[in-house]
């Protein structure tokens, strides 16, 4: 069983070694000159003014949660798309397609509801 996962583990080890190696190498090769400008926060070339603790509109959080919700739900379609041909060969393709169609209709209805209620409008 471990033999099946060995290539994935080797790839993860190589990725981790590459990431940590790059961080370590950049730390070793950097120039160690400190300056006032380097220690300041970079705010798009502008001097930071005021506090970092600002109140954001609840609308921002609503759009973020909706994005995550629809993004995660759309990920459920990928396994179906991968296995659709095999499921059709087994004779259950129609039933699975009907289930995915109902799933997509529910997603579409939710998106339509949010859209009509103005949940996706930035100018509010």
Question: The whole model's pTM is what?
Answer: 0.48
> What mean pLDDT is predicted for residues 89-101?
86
| 43: three-class secondary structure by DSSP | strand
Query: 48 with 41: CB under 8 angstroms?
Result: yes
Output phi, psi for 43, to 5 deg.
-120, 65
122 pLDDT above the threshold of 80: no
18 pLDDT above the threshold of 70: yes
37 pLDDT above the threshold of 90: no
Query: 64 with 76: CB under 8 angstroms?
Result: no
Q: What is the pLDDT of residues 38-67, one digit of tens each?
A: 667 666 767 667 777 877 777 778 888 888
Q: What is the pLDDT of residue 13?
A: 97
Helix (H) / strand (E) element for 73: namely helix 58-75
Q: What is the pLDDT of residue 17?
A: 98
Cα Dmax for the chain: 69
- The per-residue pLDDT of the chain, averaged, comes to 83
| Alpha-carbon gap, residue 100 to 77, rounded angstroms | 8
> What mean pLDDT is predicted for residues 69-78?
82
How many residues would you count in the chain? 124
Token couple for 45: 């070339």
112 pLDDT above the threshold of 70: yes
**DSSP secondary structure code for residue 40 in this structure:** S
C-alpha triplet 87, 108, 94: angle, nearest 5°? 20
> What mean pLDDT is predicted for residues 70-82?
83
């Amino acid at each position: 069983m471990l033999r099946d996962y060995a290539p994935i583990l080797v790839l993860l080890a190589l990725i981790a070694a590459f990431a940590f190696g790059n961080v370590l190498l950049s730390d070793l090769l950097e120039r160690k000159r400190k300056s006032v400008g380097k220690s300041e926060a970079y705010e798009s070339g502008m001097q930071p003014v005021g506090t970092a603790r600002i109140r954001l509109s609840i609308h921002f959080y609503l759009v973020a949660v909706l994005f995550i919700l629809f993004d995660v739900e759309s990920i459920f379609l990928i396994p179906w798309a991968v296995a659709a041909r095999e499921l059709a060969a087994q004779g259950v393709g129609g039933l699975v397609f009907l289930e995915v169609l109902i799933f997509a209709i529910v997603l579409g209805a939710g998106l339509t509801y949010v859209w009509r209620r103005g949940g996706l409008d930035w100018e509010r």
